[in-house]
Structure 1
């Protein structure tokens, strides 16, 4: 039977449970004017993670795709992080603030196994220098991919960390080299970014294929003005050429070019198919469907009427060499995104658009926008404090962290979180007067459903000496235990009882 002390504490602690996460902003005028800063954020008690604080202009849970998680990257105060959010309430699930920049965060499946992949490294405007990271479902690092035989100090670019169906990895590299730039109004010995891509076997480190742009294209093919800075084949998006190019996977020759000066296609839609420029994220989606993000130009803009950025879908006829406009998606406020941007078709037929240098993500169901969120303010200028959501994905994922859950306590509440745990459903708080009894002679003081990234349980009335949290699955199974906290000193007590925690209590809670 519980003592009077525990009965009092039980009543007090169950009197209120609250979500620690801050509410969304809804005032677009204030948000985009910078009233909350360029990149509004929130912090937590039980974790040192900093997460974006969304502006939610529109969110229709019944109309969005049913994939449970939303993936994208976010940079704050010089720290880049791949992030995962729940689709139903946009609460944070996972972040890893270990990188100066990150991008292309998604789940990729090879031979039936799911992997969390992303690029991480240093970012400059338009290109990056880092590595392709591949993690398993325990968030253990499986592979770090870097290019082979390139210039010293050059690593993988931010634009791709793509796994093939054979388990190989495609990466892009920028190299600065001396070129004769007289054909574009530059000097005979000017500097220019050369670009190459490589296919690498991550298990052996073997280079399987390499292709370099300068070996196949003349400087004069670019649409830049100096000095502005399928099968076994390869599809590349050449932004400065306003072209999408299919490269022969055997000899590196050009099979066809869509758009730009060397275009091989006839536009059967009066210019709507080939009117793209400065594009990103071109993909062949099957049966000659192509999707891409059409940046359209290199200057950010808000409230545009014509020449706006868009998600674009085309239909290619590779026999007749024609390109037909299928559909397009514009941002509700009319945006021009000077950099990045991505278009992902979803399982339910919706389209998910990340607006690159305009820190917004939208989901479109036909002609309707069913989600419009921001992780920073929209601007006519490029805000370099962020690396912007290059691409966003809705996907499934089973994250089972190798680390345990976290707990923090202050004079008013207990705070509980578990970074990366997708199976977490609820929390229980245990109490004891002796640390060694926390799993033997304990009292269950409270249980609460997971509420956002960090769940708050108020501390009111008499307090026990020691407490700890239990992370529970939706069947009540104990998934993990937090450290024990001494409420009198605020210190954490090390215990060697993780196995005891997961095995002994799962029938008792």
Structure 2
């Protein structure tokens, strides 16, 4: 696989192979001529896609829409992945895919919705980087929620947004102050969960001084502490707050303390790394700690650790030969109360440390858990040094007590390519179709499996996987939800006189079933009189092309619902002029692909030049170079090593940070966009 990555980088270095030179086995597309649909091919064909044959990030382009989403590649597609809530199509909306690709090759990152066939439904680039795009319910209403802000590769600093079906921001959430008079904290990117009680759970990171003498010998040390809060959405009142360092010993982490870390505030030690949250019906909390390699249940009354799955202090007897508890660097732990199961995305790696051949999604059944399993953390350090039983070969603790709770692996889901995601990832059980959706995080792909057998049904690459090691395109989580979009904008029509056709789309609208062309052949008092022309055209994909008759002077498009009723009309456009749709606003990137490629080229050139100089001096002066110019030699060798370290995938796990746009700016941009969409071109 590594050789394929280097070949992919080489192809992109020398330039993208023109599409006209595509091999006979190159993938087909639902709309290949206009590049407005997904690639549909076979796993063998995906080789060329993943190598970057179609670009480091193939895009879809539209005439009527001013943004270009990723063009995914479907390696497998089963009809079960496209099942709707209602087979007679009477149910509003449908099950859709929610993603947010980002990274160096994603010039315009945005929260994005696709249908299950890979066609765009909605994207909004004005948000820039977003994480955890999903649908959650609050007071009986569906909301599109996500985190937006900046991140530094460890955690994020931003806020959480709740958008209604019209894609308007209704609620903006952030953590509450820890004490009266303090400034509110910023929300972390890892998780934002709305509970049935109308509250929100959110992850937080906080830098603070800490005594790291135990285990590290650093008296005046610094840590990044992991916190979570439960906050009432309506009032912003703090319901519950928890801090990892109060209940977990720092030296129980499985993350190594890198050289220089923990000693200064600018290199604080991230010992816990909280990355997912949940709440049980009993009021307790489910917390995933990446660097403890464990999922813990936290008491909702005392904050104590009730039980822990995995890590140094695993509470469970693993009756699956260690397969239920030997997770490493895991993400997205979700508790399923009805089945007493925990779903977890087991990365099998964190940072550049690899513990497993591939990542996997897990369903683990827990038995024997309850209030009597609470761990006494009155003295954290002392209790965490205790071991009740011997460790087995898998590393989990065994207990001779017959009443010890057990963990059993129900099913593991592994990608057809045996992908290993060094970070991020998600697991979602889809009861309606009896399937499991797995997002591969740092590897921009997702797979839907049959729940019981673990058989891959659908397998999709959001970006070419040949560049995964560089981290140029990644996707934090993937979700599938039922969603009804009713945007307050109008359908967008774009005339192309040379093609005698008009293109139409409606960003975010999910209720459109047909498009109806209406034409005006004469103008009366400056007003156009429109009449229907031809039969309605079925909506198939994001954008439709409608032929325009020669007698038409102006045209507009009606969006029709399942009953043939008009949802909205587009603005009227002249048939003699090309319609120019403005590009959707996007925040400027902190670092562009061109800048990085230029840096790579500069470093490589300097390295080659230094090597040439070294060889020249060695040839000319032979042995003398080693005695007369040792410092020069050392400097040149150091430069070559530095170049190699820069060019090799040292950037692979860094999240690309983007500036945060203020909410006032968001409102102005959104208002301007809507006004513009209602104007005739």
Task: Tell me the TM-score range normalised by the shorter chain.
Answer: 0.7 to 0.9
- Give the 5 Å matches for 1:337-348: 337-347=421-431, 348=433
- Give the 5 Å matches for 1:98-497: 98-149=126-177, 154-185=185-216, 187-227=218-258, 230=280, 231-286=282-337, 287-298=339-350, 307-319=357-369, 320=403, 321-347=405-431, 348-365=433-450, 366-379=453-466, 382-386=469-473, 388-410=474-496, 411-412=498-499, 413-432=501-520, 433-434=522-523, 440-444=529-533, 447-459=536-548, 462=550, 464-490=552-578
Structure 1 CA distance for aligned equivalents of residues 471 and 256 of structure 2: 23
- When normalised by structure 2's length, the TM-score is 0.65
Alignment gaps of 5+ in structure 2: 1-32, 86-94, 262-269, 271-279, 370-402, 581-673, 675-681
Deviations 1:213-243 (A, max 9, x none): 1222221121111118712111100110001
Distance 1:209 1:265, change over 3 A: same
C-alpha displacement of 1:290: 0.8
Distance 1:436 1:44, change over 3 A: farther
SS state at 1:407 partner: strand
Instruction: Specify which of 30, 33, 36 is matched with residue 21 of structure 1.
Output: 36
Contact 2:349 2:356 in 1 (8 A): no
C-alpha displacement of 1:42: 1.5
C-alpha displacement of 1:306: 5.2
Which structure shows the bigger proportion of residues in strand conformation?
A: 1
Deviations 1:95-138 (A, max 9, x none): 12122321222221233221111222223324222211111222
Alignment gaps of 5+ in structure 1: 1-17, 493-497, 499-509
Which structure shows the bigger proportion of residues in helix conformation?
A: 2
Contact 1:64 1:370 in 2 (8 A): no
SS state at 2:47 partner: helix
SS state at 1:192 partner: strand
Instruction: Specify which of 32, 53, 70 is matched with residue 71 of structure 2.
Output: 53
Deviations 1:431-468 (A, max 9, x none): 21328787745352563111211111244x62522111
C-alpha displacement of 1:20: 6.7
- When normalised by structure 1's length, the TM-score is 0.86
Deviations 1:132-169 (A, max 9, x none): 11112222211010112268695111111210001111
- Give the 5 Å matches for 1:57-68: 57-62=75-80, 65-66=83-84, 68=95
Contact 1:19 1:452 in 2 (8 A): no
Answer with 57-66 or 159-168: which moved more. 57-66
Instruction: Specify which of 105, 113, 121 is matched with residue 84 of structure 1.
Output: 113
Distance 1:168 1:306, change over 3 A: closer
Contact 2:52 2:466 in 1 (8 A): no
Alignment size in residue pairs: 472
C-alpha displacement of 1:299: 5.5
Answer with 165-174 or 54-63: which moved more. 54-63
Q: Which residue of 1 aligns with 2:375?
A: none
Distance 1:64 1:267, change over 3 A: farther
C-alpha displacement of 1:372: 0.3
Contact 2:514 2:537 in 1 (8 A): yes
Distance 1:103 1:491, change over 3 A: closer
Answer with 110-119 or 478-487: which moved more. 110-119
Q: Which residue of 1 aligns with 2:121?
A: 93
C-alpha displacement of 1:62: 4.0
Answer with 92-101 or 185-194: which moved more. 185-194
SS state at 1:400 partner: coil
1:70 is the counterpart of 2:85: no
Based on CA coordinates, which of the two structures has the bigger radius of gyration?
2
Distance 1:435 1:181, change over 3 A: farther
Structure 2 CA distance for aligned equivalents of residues 189 and 78 of structure 1: 42
SS state at 1:396 partner: strand
Structure 1 CA distance for aligned equivalents of residues 355 and 460 of structure 2: 21
Answer with 142-151 or 49-58: which moved more. 142-151
Contact 1:129 1:158 in 2 (8 A): yes
SS state at 2:343 partner: strand
Structure 1 CA distance for aligned equivalents of residues 152 and 61 of structure 2: 27
Deviations 1:352-384 (A, max 9, x none): 000000111001112321100011122585434
Contact 2:81 2:448 in 1 (8 A): no
Distance 1:491 1:102, change over 3 A: closer
SS state at 2:146 partner: strand
